[in-house]
Amino acid sequence: MSDKRRVLILCTGNSARSQMAEGILRHEGGQRFEVESAGTQPGQVRDEAIEVMREIGIDISGQRSKSVDEFAGRDFDYVITVCDNARENCPVFNGSATRIHQSFDDPPPASVGDHETRVAIFRRVRDEIGEWLRQFIARDGV
């Protein structure tokens, strides 16, 4: 029996915020967590998310956007929503998952602004997610 906490991180597109959160929690939480991320309307992992995560030594280039439907019937200790839309459209999971909501700004789409402006926003959101997850890890007490 594993002592790892099972965590599902949800967002709408599973393309930026939840992907970065998955990478950060895996990295910062070490062997304490089994982490997945998914979206209510999955898209594709954003290049900017991969770029800003690489800057802090975390490679998420092998991650893929997944539908929340892929996790139907699985038990989680925590279901974390990182955007309001995911919270409102989050399906019910079996078991006794603790639901946590912490909304983060949605980085702009590739069609908005120049690359450096978008990446600066991705960095800010990445750092906010990282700080929140470090507090989450400290509170979890595994």
- Express each pLDDT in 15-29 by its tens digit: 999 999 999 999 999
Residue 140 pLDDT greater than 90, yes or no: no
* Confidence at residue 91, expressed as pLDDT on a 0 to 100 scale: 61
Residue 89 pLDDT greater than 90, yes or no: no
Residue-averaged pLDDT of the chain: 90
Q: Write out pLDDT tens, residues 52-67.
A: 999 999 999 999 999 9
Chain-centroid distance of CA 117 in Å reads: 22
**5-135 fold:** Rossmann fold (3.40.50)
Whether 83 is catalytic: yes
Among residues 76, 3, 4, 1, which one has the least CA distance to residue 37? 76
**3-state secondary structure at position 38:** strand
* Confidence at residue 94, expressed as pLDDT on a 0 to 100 scale: 59
* Confidence at residue 1, expressed as pLDDT on a 0 to 100 scale: 45
What is residue 126's DSSP assignment? H
Name the catalytic one among 24, 35, 83, 133. 83
User: How many whole angstroms separate alpha carbon 110 and alpha carbon 16?
Assistant: 12
Name the catalytic one among 90, 101, 123, 140. 90
43 CB contacts (<8 Å, ≥6 apart)? Answer: 13, 14, 15, 65
Name the catalytic one among 7, 8, 9, 11. 11
Indicate the pTM of the whole model: 0.92
**pLDDT confidence band for 97 (50 / 70 / 90):** confident
65 CB contacts (<8 Å, ≥6 apart)? Answer: 13, 14, 15, 19, 39, 42, 43, 44, 45
* Confidence at residue 90, expressed as pLDDT on a 0 to 100 scale: 64
Whether 52 is catalytic: no
Average pLDDT over residues 76-88: 85
Whether 90 is catalytic: yes
Average pLDDT over residues 30-57: 95
Bridge pairing between strands 98-101 and 5-11: unpaired
